[in-house]
């Protein structure tokens, strides 16, 4: 059993090692697995990052704070932190996930990281959780551009383009959901009424697919100008 998560930012030693075991247990390995901890950890990570950005950028508006938090807590940002912690080698996976390389998959690593955050919180409380977790995000936060230069995501840019021209907002529709539970693929359409166009996007989550569909719509609008 791994009782200690060591890495170059901040080691944390668990008092209740059962929490650590559960945080590292994927549902493919049976119960108790880490999905409930992941749910709690998702909320904690969002709170910790929101608080850190609020204190770091006292003059930033809500939009810049929201966009930056989204960048820092998305799957593609959490997975590298999980790799820094070497969580992949410590995951408890079922035989199928082990064979398919689940310990390298971004979605599984990001979920395990969130579960680990929740486990630390339950083991030692909020202050200890903040002290252990925030240093993991410090390199990414230190590399952030100034608040006014934080880019807006495609859905936001498309919405603002339409609102600025007093056009109806886009409608996103889930076209298909394929693949096994641990490796789903979502295909989404983005439909505009004025100007009339339809674009599509496909990604590992519905949100990611919607962003890609919005990006495709923006490209069509730019080509039509």
Span 14-54, pLDDT tens digits: 999 999 999 999 989 888 999 999 999 999 999 999 999 99
How confident is the model at residue 7, as a pLDDT?
A: 46
Q: Does residue 149 register a pLDDT over 80?
A: no
Binned at pLDDT 50, 70 and 90, residue 151 comes out as low
Q: Is residue 111 a known part of a binding site?
A: yes
Pair 129, 22: CB distance under 8 Å? no
Does residue 202 share a domain with residue 117? no
**202 in a labelled binding site:** no
> Is the same domain home to 63 and 139?
yes
State whether 217 and 139 are in the same domain: no
Active site residues: 42, 114
Residue where a domain terminates, one of 147, 181, 207: 147
Q: Is 80 exceeded by the pLDDT of residue 148?
A: no
In which region does residue 187 sit, left (phi positive, over 0), alpha (psi from -120 to 50) or beta (all else)? beta
Residues facing 142 on adjacent strands:
none
Query: What pLDDT band is residue 74 in, cutting at 50, 70 and 90?
Result: confident
Per 3-state DSSP, what percentage of the chain is helix, strand, and coil (rounded to 5)? 60, 15, 25
pLDDT band at 66 (very low <50, low <70, confident <90, very high): confident
Could you tell me if 81 and 136 are in contact, meaning their C-beta atoms sit under 8 angstroms apart?
yes
7 vs 38: which has the higher pLDDT: 38
The pair of structure tokens assigned to 21 is 């075991």
pTM of the model: 0.68
Structure token pair of residue 103: 């310990």
Reading the block at residue 61, the tokens are: 């508006």
Dist CA 26 CA 33 (whole Å): 5
pLDDT value at position 3? Answer: 59
E strand or H helix at 131, and its extent?
Answer: helix 126-142
| 6 marked as part of a ligand binding site | no
CATH number, residue 140: 1.10.1520.10
Among the listed residues 40, 175, 43, the one whose alpha carbon sits nearest the alpha carbon of residue 118: 40
Residues 160 and 135 placed together within one structural domain of the fold: no
Averaged pLDDT, 193-216: 90
């Amino acid at each position: 059993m791994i009782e200690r998560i060591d890495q170059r930012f901040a080691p944390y030693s668990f008092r209740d090692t059962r929490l650590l075991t559960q945080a590292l247990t994927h549902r493919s390995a049976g119960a108790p697995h880490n999905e409930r901890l992941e749910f709690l950890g998702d909320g904690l990570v969002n709170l910790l990052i929101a608080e850190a950005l609020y204190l770091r950028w006292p003059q930033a508006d809500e939009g810049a704070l929201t966009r930056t938090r989204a960048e820092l807590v998305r799957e593609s940002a959490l997975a590298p932190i999980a790799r820094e912690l070497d969580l992949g080698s410590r995951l408890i996976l079922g035989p199928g996930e082990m064979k398919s390389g689940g310990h390298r998959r971004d979605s599984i690593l990001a979920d395990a990281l969130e579960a680990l955050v929740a486990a630390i919180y339950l083991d030692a409380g909020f202050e200890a959780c903040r002290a252990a977790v925030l240093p993991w995000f410090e390199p990414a936060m230190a590399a952030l551009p100034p608040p006014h230069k934080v880019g807006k995501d495609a859905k936001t840019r498309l919405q603002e383009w339409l609102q600025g021209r007093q056009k109806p907002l886009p409608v996103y529709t889930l076209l298909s959901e394929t693949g096994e539970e641990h490796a789903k693929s979502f295909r989404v359409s983005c439909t505009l009424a004025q100007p009339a166009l339809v674009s599509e996007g496909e990604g590992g989550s519905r949100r990611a697919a919607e962003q890609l569909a919005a990006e495709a719509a923006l490209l069509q609008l730019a080509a039509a100008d």
